[in-house]
Structure 1
């Protein structure tokens, strides 16, 4: 398996990603959409999720597809980003047709970034406008790091961010991941010099720092705990494929992808994290051996997600009033 041409989730045929952020707010929104509705599901393993319309994604529920998936900062305030996306899609003629009515289906998930040094004293909720802007920006190419939902994200030791990665399987099926990394846990080993996801890195995509030569599972004291008082966290992601999956198969992909969070963040899925993975399938390629291919797709999704998590932290950039350093800045200061 090798990455797709862009090494982004948008290597999955048909998918587009848009980001919008507010530097003063230190928060933002990311939207995954496509030219046509796509099959989607979700798996939640964190203890503190914040979601909208995720019940519709269960295999036994009636919604045949979704028009977009939204990842947002802002805790519960950020769920309003989905309304902005929904309104814009409706204005563009998108939505599930019910006689003369059209209803865009826009599930969403949020992370907690209210204590990251940004200006949160808004008079009007900023997230609907950020959702609209993110949808308007959607395309095949997009930036990583301190953009979109990753704008104000933090990990235990360093700034978090927005990450993405892809893989093309031997049978030609493409799998990708998009993730906003804001966990209670650490993405780096206790030394702060190496990623937990290092064994899965491809072509130095997150710095080529290698595997920690002195591994240690004892975690250091969390800088984030002092910055945020442990009040909220969360890693939220979308994994996607161009394979023709139904909702039940999509759900299995989302479940398998959670392994990627567990490999890249320690600890993961805590009571204070709302760890959630959406899954999406655009249906461009039929399965010929569903059992084996679905297993391979799930495994690839977990690998993409681990790599995307590390890329998010590696690509983070410093900004005024940050409460945590970026990993790159810290490594540079140690070497100087």
Structure 2
């Protein structure tokens, strides 16, 4: 199926109707960490696929297709390693105040699937990590309008091997045989053990533009990639996490498959991925704003429903790969050198503004 390019080089998960994003972070005075919340105020069908050998997650079992919960209202991505899982408590508090969650006698119980990255001590103080207040503030900051990306929210303390990591986004529109125009978007927090850069050329593996660094930019990048021993040890404590979302109506099983296929995009953008040192986790959200096909028999018409699903899955892998790339291009140098600061010509060719304008 043809995929319509987004209005910007990457697009945004906010192009998916029904999705909102909020960040909260702290930098300086021993801090370099943050939290990002993806909110679906009207609810969404969830899915998840965990593939890394060292994941840090919460409420992922609830998203299995054979389990009860079929609608959630938020996903939390956060720094802080296992300690950071407490950020979800703040998300729950805000959702409860809005009466969003699983209805039970006397109130609601919000289900907030959460995944973490390891960024402990990157600001200089090991004990400075997200707590419930981070989750609450990120939830209250959530909106459907444009956001900053890169070294914000859960991407604040991220690293991509020896480069500055970050949080990025992308989207695409899938045109189905039945005339539906389905939007799929992704958010990725790249804190990867693997490399995002082709060492032979200095080009990001999945950068949309074919431009690659040359001359002084290439030399600066290669100098940064000369990994000191302490940085190499730090690469054992990494992870890439994210969310892929669509406005299509899906079952939990289909949403789980959407999350699963998005890992293909991660594997293209970060090499290697899914190692024993990674906690690679991808969530999925289907807001149900559009039907994939009007045909009620679904699989009796292979050219429509399954074909549209396959196109949506393929687009999910593409946008997740682009979101990983956008995360690296949008990052600014904090505790490590940012790719866009080393190679501004390449960043500009890919539609990312200079650091001072982000």
Q: How does the TM-score come out when normalised to structure 1? A: 0.88
Structure 1 gaps, min length 5: 213-219
Aligned match of 1:310? 325
Larger Rg: 2
Structure 2 residue 266 is the aligned partner of structure 1 residue 261:
yes
Structure 2 residue 186 is the aligned partner of structure 1 residue 174:
no
| CA–CA separation in structure 2 for the residues paired with 1:138 and 1:159 | 25
The answer on whether the counterparts of 2:91 and 2:132 sit within 8 Å (CA) in structure 1 is: yes
Q: Deviations over 1:191-248 (max 9, x none)?
A: 46201113xx2xx5xxx63599xxxxxxx76458626534410000100100000100
When structure 1 is superposed on structure 2, of 53-62 and 138-147 the one drifting more is: 138-147
| CA–CA separation in structure 2 for the residues paired with 1:42 and 1:132 | 23
CA displacement at 1:286 relative to structure 2: 0.7
Structure 2 gaps, min length 5: 215-224, 294-303, 347-358
Aligned match of 1:30? 36
Q: State the secondary structure of the residue aligned to 1:169.
A: strand
| CA–CA separation in structure 1 for the residues paired with 2:53 and 2:305 | 32
Q: 1:332 to 1:98 in 2, by over 3 A?
A: closer
CA displacement at 1:10 relative to structure 2: 1.1
| CA–CA separation in structure 1 for the residues paired with 2:229 and 2:79 | 17
Aligned match of 1:215? none
Q: State the secondary structure of the residue aligned to 2:321.
A: helix
Equivalent of residue 114 in structure 2, options 108, 118, 132? 108
Structure 2 residue 276 is the aligned partner of structure 1 residue 276:
no
| CA–CA separation in structure 2 for the residues paired with 1:135 and 1:192 | 40
When structure 1 is superposed on structure 2, of 29-38 and 237-246 the one drifting more is: 29-38
Structure 2 residue 65 is the aligned partner of structure 1 residue 59:
yes
| CA–CA separation in structure 2 for the residues paired with 1:333 and 1:3 | 23
Q: What is the root-mean-square deviation of aligned Cα atoms in Å?
A: 2.2
When structure 1 is superposed on structure 2, of 97-106 and 3-12 the one drifting more is: 3-12
The answer on whether the counterparts of 1:197 and 1:310 sit within 8 Å (CA) in structure 2 is: yes
Aligned match of 2:195? 186
Q: How does the TM-score come out when normalised to structure 2? A: 0.83
| CA–CA separation in structure 1 for the residues paired with 2:51 and 2:68 | 23
Q: How many residues align?
A: 315
